[in-house]
């Protein structure tokens, strides 16, 4: 094999996608019964009408296993050789979530580790997985984003409780060629620790967030990273068929689409039904959008995220043709 063809065969290609949501739903009406807030305030400021919340018997590991199992079952048949779990809410400090997830999937023995980069964690995990594949270390990597962000706010904090939900999403990456559908484009990633205080939680139930500042940074960073990723992929940003932004808030994603000049009907969204699910947000959105037909094979798709750290990122792919089964929990599409 020549050096050039080796490079080509080591692109990371999405070949499976899956998602998992806890069955328990908390509606805005549930929140207005116990917090000084209104359905109108929550919907108009965030676009959120409900969120899925895990009860104590459903862990981050459980959600990760469910999403991962679906990504493996619904993908092209491959043998998973490594696992990365992106999460800010692991079940414990030590050991990491990923080895337990691997074992429950029957994958004991493979390299498996966690990665924390806030709501950008999934894109950071894609980058490390793509690096493993490019280096020839492994040929396939399972990448999971799983979070229980609903555990972070203080239960009485009306400014943060309405925003967050729990869930997991996963993709399987295999080695392939840069030109094929599903191949990840260049990854643009960044961080800025001077903004560390804007979103912080030293333990569950103690989240602090400067909402308005976070909002401004999120729009700026996601717009800039998106342009850079599109340019690096050789795309004109206006050629994008689908924008798949981290689901923090529909006003944020709407501003990003507007700044990029992407028509609003190309912006994927499900924050209304699931809230902000952190590292799970993008793979959950991809899985559900592919299942409900809003994301179709051949769509030029741009992924972008922003989160605590501060961290941000973006990448591109042309959506592949995957053998999907209908998702178990039905959440409609709302942008
Ligand atoms: O992945 C990144 C994670 N974080 C985010 O994406 C969050 C980004 N930020 C946001 O989404 C928005 O800043 C929020 C939705 C959090 C807040 O919207 P906002 O338009 O920036 O509102 P604000 O923070 O400026 O607050 C406006 C008012 C305040 O009252 P005063 O001081 O004007 O009297 C708040 O106390 O709204 C009040 N408020 C509420 N009122 C009713 C805050 N939360 C609520 C609530 N219900 N739940």
Task: Please state the atom number of ligand 1 nearest to the C-alpha of residue 249.
Answer: 11
CATH assignment of the domain containing 27:
3.40.47.10
- Which residue's CA is the nearest one to ligand 1's atom 48? 158
Q: Which domain holds residue 194?
A: 188-318
Residue 152, SS3 per DSSP: coil
The per-residue pLDDT for 331 is 43
94 carries an active-site annotation: no
- Which residue's CA is the nearest one to ligand 1's atom 2? 307
Is the residue at 323 inside a domain?
Answer: no
Residues 150 and 148: their CA atoms lie apart, in Å, by: 5
208 carries an active-site annotation: no
Domain count, the chain: 2
- Which residue's CA is the nearest one to ligand 1's atom 29? 159
250 and 136 both lie in a single domain: no
Residue 63, SS3 per DSSP: helix
Is the residue at 242 inside a domain?
Answer: yes
143 and 243 both lie in a single domain: no
The per-residue pLDDT for 55 is 96
Is the residue at 202 inside a domain?
Answer: yes
Instruction: State the average pLDDT over residues 189-213.
Output: 96
Is the residue at 329 inside a domain?
Answer: no
- Residues sharing a CB contact under 8 Å with residue 329, sequence separation 6 or more, in sequence order: 21, 23, 52
Residue 257 Cα, ligand 1 centroid: separation in angstroms?
A: 21
75 pLDDT band, cuts 50/70/90, is confident
320 sits in which H/E element: none
Place of tokens 């990029």: 260
Instruction: State the average pLDDT over residues 71-88.
Output: 94
Please pick, among 246, 249, 270, 299, the residue that the annotation labels catalytic: 246
- Residues sharing a CB contact under 8 Å with residue 81, sequence separation 6 or more, in sequence order: 110, 111, 138, 139, 140, 141
Q: Model-level pTM? A: 0.94
Domain boundary among 144, 177, 210: 177
- Residues sharing a CB contact under 8 Å with residue 51, sequence separation 6 or more, in sequence order: 25, 26, 150, 162, 164, 165, 166, 273, 274, 275
8 and 49 both lie in a single domain: yes
How would DSSP label each residue in 97-119?
HHHHHHHHTT-TTS-EEEE-BTB
166 and 40 both lie in a single domain: yes
């Amino acid at each position: 094999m020549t050096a050039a063809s080796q490079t080509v065969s080591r692109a990371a290609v999405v070949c499976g996608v899956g998602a998992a949501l806890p069955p328990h739903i908390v509606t805005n009406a549930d929140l207005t019964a116990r917090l000084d807030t209104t359905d109108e305030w929550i919907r108009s400021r965030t676009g959120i009408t409900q969120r899925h919340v895990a009860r104590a018997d459903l862990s981050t590991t459980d959600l990760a296993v469910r999403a991962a199992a679906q990504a493996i079952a619904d993908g092209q048949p491959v043998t998973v050789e490594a696992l990365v779990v992106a999460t800010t809410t692991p079940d414990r400090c030590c050991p990491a979530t990923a080895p337990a997830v691997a074992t429950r999937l029957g994958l004991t023995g493979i390299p498996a580790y966690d990665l924390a980069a806030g709501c950008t964690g999934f894109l950071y995990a894609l980058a490390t997985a793509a690096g493993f594949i490019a280096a020839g270390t492994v040929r396939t990597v399972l990448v999971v984003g799983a979070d229980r962000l609903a555990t972070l706010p203080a239960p009485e904090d009306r400014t943060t409780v309405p925003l967050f939900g729990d869930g997991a999403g996963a993709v399987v990456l295999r080695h392939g060629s840069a030109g094929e559908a599903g191949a990840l484009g260049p990854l643009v990633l960044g961080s800025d620790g001077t903004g560390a205080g804007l979103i912080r939680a030293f333990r569950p139930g103690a989240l602090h967030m400067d909402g308005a500042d976070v909002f401004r940074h999120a729009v700026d960073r996601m717009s800039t990273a998106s342009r850079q990723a599109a340019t690096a992929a050789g795309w004109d940003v206006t050629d994008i068929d689908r924008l798949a932004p981290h689901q923090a808030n529909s006003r944020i994603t709407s501003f990003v689409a507007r700044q990029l000049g992407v028509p609003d009907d190309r912006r994927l969204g499900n924050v209304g039904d699931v809230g902000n699910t952190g590292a799970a947000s993008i793979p959950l959105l991809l899985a559900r959008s592919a299942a409900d037909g809003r994301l179709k094979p051949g769509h030029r798709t741009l992924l972008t995220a922003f989160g605590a750290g501060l961290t941000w990122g973006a990448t591109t792919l042309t959506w592949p043709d995957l053998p999907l089964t209908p998702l178990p929990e039905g959440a409609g599409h709302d942008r």
